[in-house]
Structure 1
Amino acid sequence: MTQRLTPSGQRPARRSRGAAPRRPAIAREQRDQRGQASRDASDSGRSANRPAAARRAPVRRTSAPQPRRFTGRATVLLVVLIALALGYTYPVRVYLTQQSDIARMEAAQETQRRRIGELSEQAALWRDEEYIKIQARKRFYMVYPGETPLVVLSDPEGAARDAGIDPKAGKGAKPDPWYDTLWSSIQAANNAGSRP
């Protein structure tokens, strides 16, 4: 039976049962070659002396692609949320309109209740006979038999006519407007300056 040789020319190492596997010799040799290549590259020798691995063109490092801001799931979630928001805007608007209508109607009902209360109080007053007599005297100038009613009028012109005085005699003529007064004073000043 022949043993296979590894690329480095060594035989594979024997493993004992239960022992941890050793690193292959190939990996160790490659690491040694890389160390040698880096040492050769650090020397100031010519490039011909360097191994082929060191003579290769330097590897350019490229930046990793930036992840997209929105993934497919995030986009779908955003579309679903927008659709839900648009779907709920009309019912919410209807709800708010109904709430404002309810508030307006409750305010109108409260005003009507207040007015009904005032009218109920007035109706209760009209059941009293004394109140009816007071209202008849006040509104219709009614008096008991034997009383003389006295009505005070606030008509100065009528009172002056009844007294035999001309109502317009006490009033003076309307004064001239200010611009007429100003113009007449300018003319008077001009006439005074032109006299010898």
Structure 2
Amino acid sequence: MAKRPQLTGRAAILAVVVCAIAMSLAYPVREYISFRRSISELRAEKARVEAEKQALLARDRQSNDPNWIKKTAKERLHFCGPGEKCYVVMQPEKGKEQTAVKQPAAIPPWYQTLWESVQAADKGTGQPAVTGKESVGR
């Protein structure tokens, strides 16, 4: 008996046709998946915008309420109604006290350092004159 070849002509043509179909469907399938992902992202964004819109509408309705307006004026603007005594207690800020204590010594401007070095060279001392501030060369 003669040995049959493993790949016949028909099988080769079938393989080429299947590859051609797969290649022709790859791009449309990829685009379909991309569009589906885009649609789901847009739906999520639409839901977020709708929720924000509802929150703004609720805030708008709330701003028409006179009791809410009075309450907000008292809290945020420290408004006092007629006949009321209002007090505002101020507490010192701790951050300002600490920053005032830990400030480094001021560095003189470059031209002051230059002028001091010129004066020192004129006197022949080699060191800039002390004017109460520490000079730092740049």
Is 1:91 equivalent to 2:28 in the alignment? yes
When you count helix as a share of all residues, which structure comes out higher?
2
The residue matched to 2:21 in structure 1 has which SS?
helix
> How far does residue 66 in structure 1 lie from its aligned partner after superposition?
2.4
Which residue matches 1:115? 52
User: Does 1:141 pair with 2:78?
Assistant: yes
One-letter code aligned to 1:112: V
What TM-score do the two structures reach when normalised by structure 1? 0.46
Which letter does structure 1 place at the counterpart of 2:29?
Answer: V
Who is 2:129 aligned against?
A: none
**Residue 131 of structure 1, aligned match among 47, 54, 68:** 68
Deviation at 1:88, TM superposition (A): 0.6
Higher relative contact order (CA 8 A, sep 6+): 2
> Runs of 5+ in structure 1 lacking a partner?
1-63, 158-166, 169-196
Is 1:150 the counterpart of 2:96? The answer is no
Map 1:46-125 to 2 at 5 A: 64-125=1-62
TM-aligned CA deviation for residue 136 of structure 1: 0.8
How many residue pairs get aligned? The number is 97
Residue type of the partner of 2:27?
Y
CA RMSD of aligned residues (A): 2.0
Shift of 1:154: 3.0
Note the residue ranges of structure 2 that are not aligned, 5 or more in a row. 99-138
Paired residue for 1:189?
none
Query: CA distance change for structure 1 residues 90 and 67 in 2, over 3 Å: closer, same or farther?
Result: same
Q: Matched residues in 1 for 2:10 and 2:93: separation?
A: 92
Cross-structure match for 2:135: none
Q: Percent identity?
A: 28
Residues 129 and 92 from structure 1, CA distance in 2 versus in 1: closer, same or farther, beyond 3 angstroms? same
Give runs of ≥4 in structure 1 deviating > 6 Å.
none
